[in-house]
Amino acid sequence: MKKTNSILIFLSVIAGITIILVENCQNKSTSNSPLASYPIDSIVLTTSERVIVPDSVPSVAAKIFPYELTKYAENGYGKWHFCKGLPYEKRVDLMPAGYVPTGGKSYSKLLKFFTMTDIHITDKESPTQGIFFGYKGGIISAYSGIMLYTTHVLDAAVQTINSLHKKNPFDFGISLGDDANNSQYNETRWFIDVLDGKKINPDSGVKDDPIPGALNDYQDEYQAAGLEKVIPWYQAVGNHDHNWMGIYPPTDYIKRAYIGDSILKVGNIFTPNGIYERSLFMGTMDGRTVNGDVIGVGPVSSTKPVLIAADSSRRSLSSIGWSNEFFNTSSNPKGHGFNQADVARGFSCYAFEPKSDVPVRVIVLDDTQKDSDPSKDIHGHSFLDNERFDWLVKQLDKGQAEGRLMVIAAHIPIGINDPNPELGWDPNAPLTEATLIAKLHTYPNLLLWVAGHRHLNTVTALKSPDPSHPELGFWEVETPSLREFPQQIRTFEIVRNSDNTISIFTTDVDPAVKEGSFAAISRSYAIAAHQIFKLPFCETYNAELVKQLIPQMQYKIQNLATGVNR
């Protein structure tokens, strides 16, 4: 196993990957950096050109537990193939009644950007992950084999962005939150350092090397490619970034457990006061083993306690501490949107104009519950207090008065009617969701709300309540998670059409992973996890979203760029 060929065979067997390239997929590009330890595939395409389709699990496949990684491939779990690309669905939900879209329109490009979200960079050896609730089934976000490779997937996604940028440049990018899985300092640093292109040591506690040698196991230090320095990237806050497992502000006991040597003990966290009980060991992953074996997990009454190497870099970050980390960066801009004075007082909202010659304003909103929120309910809701709502209104008023098209970027979507109430609006928030949406419907220049959180590919038309003024409606686009399948990012291209409408072309992008790489293994595990947990797959979705420009904006942007045919 010390020879390179043996290692590649080993990785390929684990992944159980079959890749079938479709015809006419010879558009080649290269990784952005020759220094990248794990370069991506030379073929870099969006889902408008090809899509990933999971293979069906054989009917005779054995039922296995999520933690049984070595049984995935032999039972047919986690395999996929490529199929032809997915075209753009033209959506005119917000247009006036009777509107008929015309083909072959000329357009002027205004802005192009990308979003990534819910990366959930995970310290798999932490004593405070919630592995108990997923390793035998139950909650996919609590445990999956992809926890071994979260930094590698991000590195592949960054290289994919760089490659796409060379063909059609991005004006900026934004992460919509949940960079960290468990609010840990080391998880947040790994996220920022991958974007910065630093060396990444995805190991905590004592140094482990399951397979002796360099660049042949998930614990090895490697060189991240880094985002092209000419692409500015911005940041929004997610609930996992400053809450224990994204669901509760950590108690003093949990804070001590983060940096200690003992596995966290809590109860059923989905029942009242379960977080204060001590009946269940949450478990951890053994970084000394090839497959990150789950250890120290189960009921306290029947599980032998396991001690691990303590590590102060696992400490939990408050929302202030988390935001401050984005000033320690070598990529642009410094702070990645956050204002240090605002961060110091616990305020994580800001706005920016991506291009000086294009009237577009991006409003980045923190819509997560505060660390100080005394609610004993799960802290995964969307939430605005009066300060953030008043700030948002001022930003919208300013953008509308200045004649700017506006995009709101936040972690949690609104108006979703999700059957899981924990993913929606907090009923205890100072204002209602209906109040917020009603206010948003007074701004004809509001184009778009972009969000993550639910790990879905969903486009929602939040239509104007007044049919005589359809321009007051806006689009909401959710970007899927880089952790769970389909592990995608999204691109957005905003263009002005010759009939005085705006089109937003939104496209899913799969990281261009190389066969046998850790990112490819992660894709296989992500597919297998959905199959083993028996969850529906989040489908790829590309769309052209159309909205009417008001007369003032028609005049303002008509000469911004030379019209070309799309």
The per-residue pLDDT for range 280-329, each reduced to its tens digit, is 999 999 999 999 999 999 999 999 999 999 999 999 999 999 999 999 99
CATH of range 4-565; options 3.40.50.300, 3.40.50.12780, 3.60.21.10, 3.40.718.10: 3.60.21.10
Taken as a whole, the chain contains a residue count of 566
Structure tokens at 489: 């990012």
Residue 60 burial (CB count, 10 A): 7
Give the pLDDT score at 192: 98
The per-residue pLDDT for range 530-547, each reduced to its tens digit, is 999 999 999 999 999 999
Task: Identify whether the C-beta of residue 415 lies closer than 8 Å to the C-beta of residue 433.
Answer: yes
Task: Identify whether the C-beta of residue 14 lies closer than 8 Å to the C-beta of residue 73.
Answer: yes
Q: pLDDT band for position 6 (50/70/90)?
A: very low
> Is residue 565 scored above 70 in pLDDT?
no
d(CA 16, CA 417): 38
Lowest mean pLDDT among 51-55, 95-99, 304-308, 448-452: 95-99
Give the pLDDT score at 3: 38
Task: Identify whether the C-beta of residue 146 lies closer than 8 Å to the C-beta of residue 67.
Answer: no
pLDDT (mean) for 417-436 = 86
Question: CB under 8 Å to 111, separation ≥6 — which residues?
Answer: 171, 354, 355, 358, 360, 492, 493, 494
Task: Identify whether the C-beta of residue 119 lies closer than 8 Å to the C-beta of residue 152.
Answer: no
Give the pLDDT score at 7: 34
Task: Identify whether the C-beta of residue 246 lies closer than 8 Å to the C-beta of residue 322.
Answer: no
* Ranges of each domain in the chain: 4-565
Report the largest interatomic distance among the alpha carbons of the chain, rounded to a whole angstrom: 72
Give the pLDDT score at 559: 67
d(CA 86, CA 365): 31
The conformational region for residue 500 under phi > 0 = left, psi -120 to 50 = alpha, else beta, is: left
Buried b (16+ CB within 10 A) or exposed e, 267-303: eebeeeeebeeeebbbbbbbbeebbbebbbbbeeeeb
Task: Identify whether the C-beta of residue 88 lies closer than 8 Å to the C-beta of residue 48.
Answer: yes
Give the pLDDT score at 105: 59
The per-residue pLDDT for range 178-193, each reduced to its tens digit, is 999 999 999 999 999 9
In this structure, are strands 446-451 and 405-410 parallel, antiparallel, or unpaired?
Answer: parallel
pLDDT averaged over the chain? 91
Give the pLDDT score at 70: 97
d(CA 103, CA 115): 28
Give the pLDDT score at 433: 94
Give the pLDDT score at 381: 87
Closest CA to 13 of 62, 73, 56: 73
Give the pLDDT score at 113: 98
pLDDT (mean) for 18-35 = 41
pLDDT (mean) for 420-435 = 87
> Is residue 119 scored above 80 in pLDDT?
yes
Measuring CA to CA, how many Å separate 25 from each of 30, 46, 47, 162?
A: 15, 11, 12, 19
d(CA 122, CA 188): 9
- The DSSP symbol for 451 reads E
The one-letter amino acid at 463: K
Helix (H, G, I), strand (E, B) or coil at 457: coil
d(CA 122, CA 129): 9
d(CA 441, CA 462): 8
Give the pLDDT score at 103: 54
* pTM (predicted TM-score): 0.92
